[in-house]
Structures are given as C-alpha cells and as structure tokens.
C-alpha cells in the first residue's frame, strides 16, 4: 500500500498524517478537500480501532486512490502515540514534509500550500510551521467561550513557563521538515493528548530548529464530539509545569556556575 518516495522537497514529497477515532462522517470530505488543495500530496490515516467504522472508510478511500494509505492500530492509545506511529511510517518512506492535520474539518486543507511554502523546497525557510490561531490574521470560529478561554490560557501558560516565543504551541495543524522528526527523539516523547503538540514544538526549539507561525482560521467541528477531556488538560498542566521548573532550575544553576568563575 505504500510508495517509496525520493526526497525532492515541496508539496510533491508531502505526507499529511491524519489521526482518527470515530470520524467516519468527516474523513472522506476532508480528504477530498485536501487533494483539491494539494493534488500531489499523500495522506496517511492512522486509525485507532474506531468502533464507528472509520477504518473501513479509510480502506475504501485507499482502494480507490493510491495517494491514500492507512495504518490500523488496535486500540485508542492517545494522540501522541498515533502521531509517532504515523511519523515513523513517513520517515521510513522518505517524505520531505510531514504534516499534522485533524480529520474533523477544524483545519482548512486550503491553507496547506501556504504553510508548506514557508518551509521552502531547498532547505531554506522554516523547519516547523505552526498554523496559528493567535497571531495577526488568525482566529477561531464557533468555539464555545470556555474552550477559547482554556486554549488561550494553556498557550499563555506554556509560553511563560517554557520561555518560547510561540503564541499557539498547542496547535495541531503544522508542517515539519523531515530532519526535525529525525532529530527530536520521537520515541522519548511520553506526552499524550494535546500536550504532545507542546512537547514536540518545544523539543524542536531546544534543538535549534526554526519554528514559525502562520495565521489560520480554526473552525469548530460540526460533526462528532471533541476528544478534549479533563485528563488531557491535567496532563498538559502537570507536564508543562515540570518542564518550566526544570528550565528555571537549569537557569539558576547556570547563573551560579557563572558567578563562581
């Protein structure tokens, strides 16, 4: 079902990884829109054993279109684990640009040519491009006030705790140059849920990669329910706090070493 790719840069060497769990009604429309925007890209659907038949829909799409690939997992093991499995699949097949995107329509595939263009085909430009709701030109549509407040608060807290100049570090709409995912030790990323996005972006910054934000319009899903729950929020709060404290501790230790010289 897979096709070996020759690195060449640009959208013709791009793979869009779409994790799914109970997205039967959303999957085909989003794939159709994606190919209209990026006809030469490939799609990898990573389905976590959806009981609603999403995996079967993905298989039907793959049977009809060689650009669609499917990775079946036996159980719902979390967003982070699904993305790591998808990234491994992509790296082993030599894709140059590897993209995260949700299946529920909240991320507009029509934005992808612009996001990929910021990476550049010749090793110039950004290493990671985040589709951002919280930069000039970015926005959210039809979001309940409490979701908007939670998202804003999480991003402000992460920015301050980690000392990174990223306004939407929880964004799940992003483009990675393959070298980033080869460098950041994916299998050491223990975070699940939306904390996975924070973890991976921070690792990219710490490794010296160029991370930029591009404005997007995030639209609340119309079909299905959000996967956000209290455990996802708790994990993100605990992990970001630990990382922030470790960062501050390293700064203090460095300052003390400097004073002793």
Residue 210 burial by CB count (10 A; 0-12/13-18/19+): exposed, middle or buried? middle
User: What six digits make up the tokens of 185?
Assistant: 């030790």
State the Cα–Cα distance between residues 188 and 198, nearest whole angstrom: 14
pLDDT of residue 4: 34
| Residue where the block lists tokens 């507009």 | 108
Sorted by where each starts, the structural domains of the chain and their CATH numbers stand as 11-252 (3.90.550.10)
Q: What is the mean pLDDT of each run of 10 residues along the chain (261 residues)?
A: 37 85 95 96 96 96 97 85 94 95 94 92 82 96 87 89 92 95 87 82 93 95 58 70 71 64 70
Closest CA to 167 of 228, 207, 211, 210: 211
Q: Are strands 14-20 and 97-100 parallel, antiparallel or unpaired?
A: parallel
SS (H, E, C) the chain: CCCCCCCCCCHHHEEEEEEECCCHHHHHHHHHHHHHHCCCCEEEEEECCCCCCHHHHHHHHHHHCCCEEEEECCCCCCHHHHHHHHHHHHHHCCCCEEEECCCCCCCCHHHHHHHHHHHCCCCCCCCEEEEECCCCCCEEECCCHHHHHHHHHHHHHHHHHHCCCCCCCCCCCEEEEHHHHHHCCHHHCCCCCCHHHHHHHHHHHHCCCCEEEEECEEECCCCCCCCCCHHHHHHHHHHHHHHHHHHHHHHHHHHHHHHHC
pLDDT of residue 173: 97
pLDDT of residue 7: 38
pLDDT of residue 109: 96
pLDDT of residue 216: 97
Distances (CA, A) of 69 to 43, 45, 132, 180, 246: 6, 6, 27, 23, 40
pLDDT of residue 242: 76
pLDDT of residue 221: 67
State the Cα–Cα distance between residues 196 and 87, nearest whole angstrom: 13
pLDDT of residue 1: 35
pLDDT of residue 9: 41
């Amino acid at each position: 079902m897979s096709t070996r790719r020759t690195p060449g840069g640009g959208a013709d060497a791009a793979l869009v990884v779409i994790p799914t769990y109970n997205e039967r009604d959303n999957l085909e429309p989003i794939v159709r829109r994606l190919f209209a925007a990026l006809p030469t890209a490939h799609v990898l659907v990573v389905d976590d054993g959806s009981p609603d038949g999403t995996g079967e829909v993905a298989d039907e799409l793959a049977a009809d279109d060689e650009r669609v690939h499917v990775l079946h997992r036996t159980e719902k093991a979390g967003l982070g684990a699904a993305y790591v499995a998808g990234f491994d699949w992509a790296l082993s097949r030599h894709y140059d640009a590897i993209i995260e995107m949700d299946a529920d329509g909240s991320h507009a595939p029509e934005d992808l040519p612009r996001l990929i263009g910021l990476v550049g085909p010749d090793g110039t430009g950004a290493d990671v491009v985040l589709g951002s709701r919280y930069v000039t030109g970015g926005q959210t549509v039809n979001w309940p006030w409490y979701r908007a407040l939670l998202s804003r608060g999480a991003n402000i807290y992460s920015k301050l705790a980690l000392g990174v100049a990223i306004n939407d570090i929880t964004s799940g709409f992003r483009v990675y140059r393959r070298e980033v995912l080869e460098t950041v030790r994916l299998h050491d990323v223990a975070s699940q849920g939306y904390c996975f996005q924070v973890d991976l972006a921070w690792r990219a910054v710490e490794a010296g990669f160029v991370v930029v934000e591009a404005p997007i319009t995030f639209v609340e899903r119309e079909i299905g329910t959000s996967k956000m729950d209290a455990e996802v929020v708790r994990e993100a709060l605990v992990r970001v706090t630990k990382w922030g404290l470790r960062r501050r501790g390293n700064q203090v230790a460095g300052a003390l070493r400097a004073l002793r010289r």
